[in-house]
Amino acid sequence: MASVRDRITLTGLRVRANHGVFDFERNDGQTFVIDVVAHVDLAPAAAGDALERTVHYGVLAQQVHDAVAADPVDLIETVAERVAAVALAHEAVELVEVTVHKPEAPIAVAFDDVSVTVVRGRA
């Protein structure tokens, strides 16, 4: 495995989706905020100024958006796993950290954010 100190970071991707355990969450939807840190050896891309030797962050952002927007599930943990799989489908990604924020979570007390984070690598 090459250097996992290099990374591409997507912060604050906003996606309207219908995940949640309650009927109103499934019916009305809410905004989820996604952070992705993809650990990639960036040296080959930088050395040759070659996009094909890295991960196109615009493509990754769209794939993450589409994965979060699709097929409602109960848990944001499941959403995070889905996003991790999307990132790891890129051959250059060695390790990925995904945080799914649910700022509109149905919680009865005041709060700023609820999130889950998963860290996944190649098997």
Q: Kindly report the CA angle at 25 between 76 and 99, in degrees rounded to 5? A: 20
CB atoms within 10 A of CB 24: 10
Q: Is 81 a catalytic residue?
A: no
To the nearest 10°, report the CA torsion of 30, 14, 107, 97.
130
Q: Which one from 65, 90, 101, 102 is the annotated catalytic residue? A: 102
H helix intervals, the chain: 23-28, 43-48, 57-69, 76-88
Residue 100: phi and psi, rounded to 5, are -110, 120
Contact status, residue 37 vs residue 96, Cβ threshold 8 Å:
yes
Report, as residue numbers or ranges, the catalytic residues: 102
